[in-house]
Amino acid sequence: MKTLISSDVRLLANLIQEGKVVVFPTETVYGIGASTRLESACLRVYEIKGRPKDNPLIAHFHSIESIAAVCELGDVGRALLERFSPGPLTLILPKKDKSLFPKELDTLAVRIPKSPVVREWIELSLGPVSAPSANLSGRPSLTKLSDVLRYFDGVVDGILIAEEPSFGIESTVVSLVGKTPVLLRPGSIESNELLKILPDLWIPGSGSQKETDSVPLSPGTKYKHYAPTARVILASKEEFEFSLKTMNESKSTAWIGFSFEEIELNEGNKLGNLHPIFKSDRFCFVSSNEDYASKLYAFFEACDFAGIDTIFCEVPKLGKGEEGLRNRLEKAISS
Ligand code: TXA
Ligand code: MG
C-alpha cells in the first residue's frame, strides 16, 4: 500500500472522511486513527495493531463543545477539561450519541490533543477520530517518527507529520461514569492535581477505598503493555551506579537514568560531566522525571532494535512527574 506521508492536514482529513486509517502525533505518543463514525474503519485499526476487540478506543476531539454534543459532560467533566485540555487527559463519559464507535458501549473515552495542527486536522476530518496508541499490540507506544515509519509506512493510508510527542507516556485516564470517579491510568496529569477538582477520586492501589472487584475497570489495563522484549530491571540509584561501575565488555546491556555523571569508573576518576564512554546509544541520560518519560519508549524501541537483552532503568525521582513514569516502569518489569 502507498502511504500518504504529509503535513497537509486537509489531505489527511480527507482520508479519515473516506474511512481510511491515519497515524498522527499527539503530545503523549503517536496514535493510529480512524473516524469514530465509521465502524469498519475503526475495525481496521484493530486489525493493523492486532488489538483485542474488547479494548475500546479513545475518541479524539478538537473542542470541549464537540465533546458536549455527543457525551454527558456534566459540570465536573467540563471543569476538568477546562483545566487540563487541550492536553494529556482522557475522560470516560456516558455517551449521548449511540452511533459512535464502539456502538455496544454506552460510554466513550474522550480527549483533546494539545497540538493546534492536530486539532485542526480532527476538525477537518469531521471528527472525532478514534485512536489507540500507534504500536503493535503489546509493544511500547511509539514517540518517534522514524519508528512510526519503520512499522507503518506501507501499512496505513496516511501519516500526519506534525510536532513529535513531548510527554512520551500515554494520557491520564479518569472515569466519570460510576458513582465515584476513578483514576484508570496514571499519566502526566497527576492525581494531586486531579484531587483539587475531584476530591473523591479513587486511586486504585492507594488503599484509599475498598479494592473491590479485581475486575479491570478499563479493559486495556488487563493486557500486557509498555514492555520491550529486553528484560527491564528497575534499579535504585545505588544499584544503577553499581551496575555501571561493574559493566563488562558485552554490548547486550543498556541503561537509562539520572546517575551517570558521578560514577567513579574503574580508573577511579570522579567525573564532573559525562564520560565519553557513556556517549553510546546504550546509555540514555535523563535530567528530570519529565525528560525520562519523554525518552523512555523511544529508548525501549531502540534497545530492542539493537538486540539489547537487559535494560537497567533507574527509579524515578520522588515528586513531580513520578506517578505516570513509575506506573509505566512497573508495567515494563511485570510483563
Ligand atoms: O495518550 C493517549 O491516551 C494515546 C494517544 C494516542 O491519545 N492513546 C492511548 O490509547 O494510549 P490506548 O488505546 O493505548 O489506551 C486507551 C485506554 C485503554 O486502557 C482502554 O481500555 C481505555 O483507555 N478505554 C478506552 N475506552 C474506554 C471506555 N469506554 N471505558 C473504559 N476504558 C476505556
Ligand atoms: Mg496503547
Q: Which three cell numbers stand for residue 168?
A: 512520551
pLDDT over 50 at 180, yes or no: yes
DSSP string across 14-41: HHHHTT--EEEE-SSSEEEEEETT-HHH
Average pLDDT over residues 150-176: 98
Which residue among 169, 176, 218 is best mutated to probe the pocket of ligand 1, counting the most ligand atoms within 8 A of its Cβ? 218
The string of pLDDT tens digits covering residues 79-115 is: 999 999 999 999 999 999 999 999 999 999 999 999 9
State percent of the chain over pLDDT 70.
Answer: 89
pLDDT over 50 at 3, yes or no: yes
How far is ligand 2, taken at its centre, from the CA of residue 238, in Å?
Answer: 32
Q: Please work out whether the CB of residue 128 comes within 6 Å of at least one atom of ligand 1.
A: no
Q: What is the per-residue pLDDT for 113?
A: 98
State percent of the chain over pLDDT 90.
Answer: 82
Contact 296, 166 (CB under 8 A): no
The string of pLDDT tens digits covering residues 211-261 is: 554 445 666 666 556 789 999 999 999 999 999 888 877 789 999 999 987
Q: What is the per-residue pLDDT for 249?
A: 72
Q: Please work out whether the CB of residue 221 comes within 6 Å of at least one atom of ligand 1.
A: yes
Q: CB-hemisphere CA count at 13 Å for 323?
A: 21
Q: What is the per-residue pLDDT for 213?
A: 45
Shortest-distance ligand to the CA of residue 139: 2
Cα(13)–Cα(171) distance, integer angstroms: 23
Name the residue with cell 503493535. 136
The distance from CA 33 to its chain's CA centroid, rounded to whole angstroms, is 14
The string of pLDDT tens digits covering residues 253-293 is: 999 999 987 666 555 555 445 666 677 889 999 999 999 99
How far is ligand 2, taken at its centre, from the CA of residue 25, in Å?
Answer: 14
Q: What is the per-residue pLDDT for 228?
A: 94
Long-range CB contacts (within 8 A, 24+) of 192-196: 193/84, 194/80
Q: Please work out whether the CB of residue 171 comes within 6 Å of at least one atom of ligand 1.
A: yes
- 140 Cβ contact partners less than 8 Å away, ≥ 6 residues apart: 226, 227, 228, 296, 297, 300, 301, 332
Q: Please work out whether the CB of residue 133 comes within 6 Å of at least one atom of ligand 1.
A: yes
Question: How many CB atoms are closer than 10 A to CB 312?
Answer: 21
Q: Strand, coil or helix: what is 317?
A: coil
Q: What is the per-residue pLDDT for 51?
A: 93
Q: What is the per-residue pLDDT for 267?
A: 53
pLDDT over 80 at 177, yes or no: yes
Q: Please work out whether the CB of residue 89 comes within 6 Å of at least one atom of ligand 1.
A: no
What rounded mean pLDDT belongs to the chain? 92
Expressed in percent and rounded to 5, the helix, strand and coil fractions of the chain are 30, 20, 50
Average pLDDT over residues 72-84: 98
- Enter the pTM of the model: 0.94
Q: What is the per-residue pLDDT for 214?
A: 44
From the CA of 88, give the closest atom in ligand 1: 1
Q: What is the per-residue pLDDT for 261?
A: 73
Contact 331, 225 (CB under 8 A): yes
pLDDT band at 335 (very low <50, low <70, confident <90, very high): low
How far is ligand 1, taken at its centre, from the CA of residue 91, in Å?
Answer: 9
Nearest residue by C-alpha to atom 15 in ligand 1: 132
Q: In this structure, what are the phi and psi dihedrals at residue 51, rounded to the nearest 5 degrees? A: -90, 135
Cite the beta strand spans of 146-243 per DSSP E. 158-160, 172-175, 182-185, 231-235
Q: What is the per-residue pLDDT for 245?
A: 85
pLDDT over 60 at 184, yes or no: yes
Nearest residue by C-alpha to atom 32 in ligand 1: 218
Q: What is the per-residue pLDDT for 215?
A: 46
Q: What is the per-residue pLDDT for 112?
A: 98
How far is ligand 1, taken at its centre, from the CA of residue 109, in Å?
Answer: 7
Q: Please work out whether the CB of residue 105 comes within 6 Å of at least one atom of ligand 1.
A: yes
pLDDT over 80 at 63, yes or no: yes
Q: Which three cell numbers stand for residue 283?
A: 546509555
CA distances from 137 to 50, 89, 223 (A): 6, 22, 9
Q: What is the per-residue pLDDT for 217?
A: 61
Average pLDDT over residues 295-317: 96
Q: What is the per-residue pLDDT for 247?
A: 84
Q: Strand, coil or helix: what is 325?
A: helix
Nearest residue by C-alpha to atom 10 in ligand 1: 132
How far is ligand 1, taken at its centre, from the CA of residue 24, in Å?
Answer: 15
Q: What is the per-residue pLDDT for 209?
A: 54
DSSP string across 65-99: HHHHTTB--HHHHHHHHHHH-SSSEEEEEEBS-TT
Q: Please work out whether the CB of residue 115 comes within 6 Å of at least one atom of ligand 1.
A: no
